[in-house]
Structures are given as C-alpha cells and as structure tokens.
C-alpha cells in the first residue's frame, strides 16, 4: 500500500511507522493522521507484527506538531470534529493490543507529544524536545494531551507544562516520567529495536492483557482493578501460550509463543 506522508515496513515481526514530512518537521495534517490510522489497522490485523515502532524522518523532529495552516482554518464545530478524529486514532494506538514504542528523534511538540504519549513506551534521543505549547496559539491540546500527560507525570506537573507551554529537554522528560529511556542520537533506533526484539520474544497475549490491566486499572478503584487483573490472569491460564511458557521453563528452553 502506498502512502504520501508516512513510511511503513515490517521486519522480524517489528513494524516501523515513520512520519515522513521532513520539510515541515513531520507536522501532522489530516492526511497524515488518516494514514497513521490506516497503518494501525494493518498492524493490528497482521500476525507478523508483534511490536510497532513510531518515529519521524530526519534528525530534527519526531513530529513537531499539527499543520498550523490547516489548523488555523478550523471553525468551532470543525475544530471539535478535528480533535475527536485525532483522539480516536491516537486511542486506537493506545489500545492496539500490541506494544508500541515511540523513538523520539527530535521535536515532539503538540500533536507529536500526544502521539508519543499514546505509545506504550517512549525512547528519546538526547537531543529530543517535548512540550504542549498550544496555549501560545490560543488553543489547548486536542489529541489527548490534557488527559495523558497528567496520567504520566501527575496533575501538578501537567498543569505547569500545559499552561506555560514550556518545552522540556530529554533529560527532564525522563526525570519526570514522560520518557522511559534516553539514548545518544546514534543509538536511538538500535536501542528501540533491541527493546522491540525483547518484547517480541514474550507471550503476545500476556503483553496484551498486562497492558490492558494497567491502562484500564488507572480509571478504576483498587478493588475493581484487582478484579480485572484476576479475570485477565484467568484468561491467560486458558491459553496455549501459558501451557507453552510453563513447559518451556521446566524444559529449560526458549518458549515458542503463538498468541493463542
């Protein structure tokens, strides 16, 4: 399938989605967001994709934000629809059922930061920059920034960052919990691929249910979250993967999981 704004490849059960608009620092326009949504559906349905990596073309930007020219044309109803559409695609990324890794190679601002936050893990180049500077344009984050940022770094820190529009370097982003790991620029993709390879070796159902328990449990009481965990644990126990995993452990060999 041909795309105008992104690159898509699958190798060794790892899919790599690269936002490919370097002339505008990989800014997201409607077409790019639609193409991301299309790739997410392809990745979800493809058994050869166990993990998804998202990154940006070039060295300057992961995704520097939204396409401002396009954004400036939004009327109230259109603006709401614009936000809901992006939110739906980013929520699909978050609930893909397969681990997703953001390899942040430069600016991740506005929609770019929101895209990274919708991923399971965030690996950043030491030169990466993060922020939600929408207030400088007289708007607020619209692709989930007000919700996911507070869940990752806490409400107080999210308030500060969104209301001031302050830009963070990678070191601070890691310190406050926005980023999982920082690497030298030349090691970003190799490090991300190494993490992806580790995840691919695990049981697909276990990864899916563990992520679901964590994500859904965030909005539940402890009692409700524990009940969800027990239910998903029970589903794992009924799987072929569980039988293979425990047998492989006892036989001192690597498990061959099938996601069933």
The per-residue pLDDT for range 150-199, each reduced to its tens digit, is 999 999 999 999 999 999 999 999 999 999 999 999 999 999 999 999 99
- Residues marked as catalytic: 114, 134
Does pLDDT of 109 surpass 80? yes
More confident residue, 193 or 2: 193
Tokens of 99: 């681990």
Q: Which CATH class is domain 204-250?
A: mainly alpha
Asked if 22 and 70 touch (Cβ cutoff 8 Å), the reply is no
The per-residue pLDDT for range 192-248, each reduced to its tens digit, is 999 999 999 988 999 999 999 999 999 899 999 999 999 998 988 888 888 877 777
Q: b or e along 185-211 (b: 16 or more beta carbons within 10 Å of the residue's beta carbon)?
A: eeebbebbbebbeebbebbbbbbbbbb
The per-residue pLDDT for range 115-161, each reduced to its tens digit, is 999 999 999 999 999 999 999 999 999 999 999 999 999 999 999 99
**113 vs 5, 62, 106, 213, 228, CA distance in Å?**
18, 9, 11, 24, 29
- pTM of the predicted model as reported, rounded to 2 decimal places: 0.92
What's residue 68's pLDDT?
A: 67
72 — pLDDT class (breaks 50, 70, 90): low
What's residue 78's pLDDT?
A: 76
More confident residue, 59 or 72: 59
Does pLDDT of 100 surpass 90? yes
In degrees, rounded to 5, the angle at the alpha carbon of residue 229 between the alpha carbons of residues 118 and 210 is: 40
Tokens of 151: 């869940």
**How many angstroms separate the CA atoms of 36 and 140, rounded?**
22
Does pLDDT of 73 surpass 80? no
Helical (H) or strand (E) element with 233: helix 222-237
* Domain residue ranges of the chain, discontinuous segments joined by +: 6-200, 204-250
| Record: fold of 6-200 | 2-enoyl-CoA Hydratase; Chain A, domain 1 (3.90.226)
**How many angstroms separate the CA atoms of 164 and 220, rounded?**
30
**62 vs 1, 28, 47, 150, CA distance in Å?**
23, 11, 27, 21
Asked if 176 and 157 touch (Cβ cutoff 8 Å), the reply is yes
CA Rg, the chain, in Å?
19
Phi, psi angles (nearest 5°) of residue 93: -60, -45
User: Smallest Cα–Cα separation from 148: which of 137, 162, 164?
Assistant: 162
> What average pLDDT does this structure show over 36-64?
95
Does pLDDT of 50 surpass 80? yes
> What average pLDDT does this structure show over 63-70?
77
What's residue 254's pLDDT?
A: 82
């Amino acid at each position: 399938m041909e795309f105008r704004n992104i690159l898509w490849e699958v190798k060794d059960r790892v899919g790599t989605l690269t936002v490919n608009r370097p002339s505008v620092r990989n800014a997201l326009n409607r077409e790019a967001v639609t193409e991301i949504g299309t790739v997410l559906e392809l990745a979800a349905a493809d058994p050869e994709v166990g993990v998804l990596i998202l990154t940006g073309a070039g060295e300057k930007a992961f995704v520097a934000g939204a396409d401002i020219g396009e954004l400036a044309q939004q009327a109230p109803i259109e603006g709401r629809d614009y936000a809901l559409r992006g939110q739906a695609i980013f929520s699909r990324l978050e609930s893909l059922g397969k681990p997703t890794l953001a390899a942040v190679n430069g600016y991740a601002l506005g929609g770019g930061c929101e895209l990274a936050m919708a991923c399971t893990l965030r690996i950043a180049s030491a030169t990466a920059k993060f922020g939600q500077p929408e207030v400088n344009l007289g708007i607020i984050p619209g692709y989930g920034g007000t919700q996911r940022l507070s869940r990752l770094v806490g409400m107080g820190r999210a308030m500060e960052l969104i209301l001031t529009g302050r830009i963070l370097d990678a070191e601070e982003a890691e310190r406050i919990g926005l980023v999982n790991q920082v690497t030298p620029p030349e090691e970003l993709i190799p490090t991300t691929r190494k993490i992806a390879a580790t995840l691919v070796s695990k049981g697909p159902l276990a990864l899916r249910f563990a992520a679901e328990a964590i994500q859904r449990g965030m909005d539940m009481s402890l009692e409700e979250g524990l009940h969800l965990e027990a239910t998903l644990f029970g589903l794992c126990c009924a799987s072929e993967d569980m039988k293979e995993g425990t047998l492989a452990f006892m036989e001192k060999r690597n498990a061959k999981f099938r996601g069933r």
